[in-house]
Amino acid sequence: MVNYRILSVLLFALSGSGLSDALFAADYKIQQQAMIDAIQNDVIETSIYIGKKAFDPAVMKAMASVPRHEFVPDNQKSYAYENRPLPIGYGQTISQPYIVALMTDLLNLSKEHKVLEIGTGSGYQGAILNELTPQVFTIEIIEPLAKRAIATYKRLQLDNIQVRTGDGYFGWEEHAPFDAIIVTAAADHVPPPLVQQLKNGGRMIIPVGSRFFVQQLVLVTKDSEGKITTQQILPVRFVPLTGKH
């Protein structure tokens, strides 16, 4: 079995002797395919919870297209395609790829949908969403992370993703209502402002629970008449949502 992390370290060590960028790119693609395989295995293993044995092909295409190594710190690049969360500074993490794919899949996005993300982090989840719809709005409360994500989006020419620094608990009323909302940090309740900004017929995915107890990934749906229903999907672990609330 190939140890992809060791392979990446070896390639980095060889770079000083003239190893081409193309070889690095090929190595990342190998690792990315291994990540996709790991996600597919996790889908099968958790099918009893999520009610399916495969994600939407469009979601998996997005996961196979967005370069995760561009969204992690330099000292984490050799781990970028491992199917686990990674630290990105300021006590925050980039989520496990399987969880990113799962939460994206649960939104049922299409090209005409407008989506709000609470917790920009490194920008990776927003980039995945952008593969499915050009209308992505994302809020990050930690200013240095928001600035870093903006710079990454600019470098990768993802110019249509709109980033704001602020408290995501209160949503982004200026651009509401949203067809979908994704929250990438755990709250102890579903924020009422986000429910209000969710369009009738919309879906929100959010981890609910405290840092020290079991959190549940919760799917919130609003029907055509504005009635709210919730469904627990599976146990998860996220950093807590922060802010004045």
Instruction: Give the residue numbers annotated as catalytic, written as ranges.
Output: 95
Q: Alpha carbon of 137 to those of 15, 71, 107: distances in Å?
A: 37, 18, 15
Q: Alpha carbon of 185 to those of 151, 218, 227: distances in Å?
A: 22, 12, 24
DSSP string, 198-221: EEEEEEEEEEES-TTS-EEEEEEE
Question: How many CB atoms are closer than 10 A to CB 99?
Answer: 22
Q: Alpha carbon of 64 to those of 60, 86, 119, 142, 223: distances in Å?
A: 6, 18, 22, 28, 32
b/e burial code for range 37-61 (CB count within 10 A of at least 16 → b): ebbbebbeebeeebeeeebbeebbe
Q: In which element (H, E) is residue 152 found? A: helix 143-155
Look-up: residue for tokens 């719809």? 133
What is d(CA 137, CA 153) in angstroms, rounded to the nearest whole number?
13
Contact between 62 and 131 (Cβ < 8 Å):
yes
